Structure 1
């Protein structure tokens, strides 16, 4: 579904903001509204604030130590409100923050957004971790760190746990590197959220819908050159050569990788030939 004008305007504003100025949960609600444009976001904002207030009450304020932070987040989000991972990873609603709040069930990245929003609202140092195949959340306090897994009811992970997860996904040759602990900006978390939706749509060969998702992503991440390429490829598959040319030209303008530029240039030549 194509984003309505008011939502597009909001996302363009997000796209103009620095990463640190992006309100992660609010933008996730705006993205959720693309599929539910007639639904008020106000009740969902109130629920998010209730999570913040209840975690703060349990933790005893913003100065809680690391263990207390994790305990408070787990007790309120997982145990009191019953948030958990969906049984159906192909359900698009599992990547929609509104529907996840309604059902208390969603993808790990959406649950992670709840953990990040609450923690950040309380002034706790928190970030998403770009781990392969699993969205993780890291909390930092006084030089100590803990990585929790929203997929496993906010279980605290050791390096051994993460190594086992990596090998299960990538094979026994895989080993942890600093890249596996890389923090994600709010924009990157939102992109990962939307990637889940796009991937499922492509799997179902819903190309028009997948293109709508990519175009929505470009509203809040216009500098992501790979998205311009994906946009152009989808437009080409949908027999929109003029639009595809414009998107691929934008990709070339923003991209610096020689391989990506070469492949895009070849496709551009073919598309321009179709237009002539």
Structure 2
């Protein structure tokens, strides 16, 4: 596969792109550049390319796709040492791809991105799954799909374990074959990127780092302006930052879009409080 230098897209262009045109790797690095302004995308592009180049001869000599991906997983998780950060799962660095490639520590979705990107460069169609709880990856095979857990070394998961994992995140109900098949559908790039940003928003809101929480919600809206929860989240972060004009605008728009939301009464109360305060200049 010919290799070209990686360039990052512009945030304002992303909402107008179809899912299939949305560049997953470069947009993930664009997310990271918000936190690391000096980030050089070409460096991480080269590192991922080096992973793929190291594997190319071995993988091309293997006929079966499951054995190809097993070789990729062995190199990434055993030889290079990529692993899930079990000790500090909510460290925001686990969501920034530059940090994941440098530290070789990540969360399920960032490790999946590394696994998927290296596989893509080796012509292996590994896909992400927005599984409830932990993000997973899948590989189409003749009899269905091979599902793997990148947070735990790319370990394959059987149907019974998948049902149990889904059940624990679905109110205790065990999914039947049809529901499980829907859960295992591949996630489009936009959904993957929004999940990264929602993870970051959750971490920063928990830490009360409201500027970063606002930024994460804003970036979701850059990808998908119709995400009303992100509009509310940005407004609430603005409120914590005393950016009252921005909070009023976002929360009012949220109520216009979601007048019957479960938190509508709470948001209306916050708007009343904003109205009684003097909005500082920003």
Which consecutive residues of structure 1, in runs of 5 or more, have no partner in the other structure? 1-5
More deviation, 63-72/208-217: 63-72
- Counterpart of 2:158 in structure 1 is 158
Quote how far apart the aligned CAs of 1:58 are.
2.2
Change (3 A) 1:250 1:72: farther
Q: Which residue of 2 aligns with 1:28?
A: 28
Q: 1:256 to 1:52 in 2, by over 3 A?
A: farther
CA distance in 2, matches of 1:192, 1:110: 10
Q: Which residue does the alignment assign to 1:67? A: 66
Q: Residues of 1 paired with 2:268 and 2:77: CA distance? A: 50
User: In angstroms, what is the RMSD of aligned CA positions?
Assistant: 2.9
Q: CA deviation at 1:237?
A: 3.5
Residues 45 and 268 of structure 1: CA distance in aligned 2, closer, same or farther (over 3 Å): same
Partner Cα separation in structure 2 for residue 120 and residue 248 of structure 1 = 41
**Across the two proteins, how many residue pairs are aligned to each other?**
267
CA–CA distance in structure 1, aligned partners of residues 263 and 201 of structure 2: 23
The 5-angstrom pairing of residues 1-276 of structure 1 reads 10-60=10-60, 64-86=63-85, 87-142=87-142, 144-168=144-168, 173-176=172-175, 177-178=179-180, 179-251=182-254, 255=257, 258-259=260-261, 262-263=264-265, 266=268, 270=272, 273-274=275-276
Structure 2 unaligned segments of length 5 or more: list them: 1-6
Normalised TM-score (structure 1): 0.83
Shift, 1:83, TM fit: 0.7
Deviations 1:18-76 (A, max 9, x none): 11112211211121122111132221110111223334332217x94331232122122
Displacement of 1:80: 2.5
Mapped contact 1:147–1:156 kept (Cα < 8 A): yes
CA distance in 2, matches of 1:226, 1:98: 27
2:4 aligned residue: none
Contact 1:139 1:145 in 2 (8 A): yes
Give, in angstroms, the shift of residue 233 of structure 1. 2.2
Taking a change above 3 Å as real, the CA distance of residues 229 and 115 of structure 1, as seen in their structure-2 partners, is same
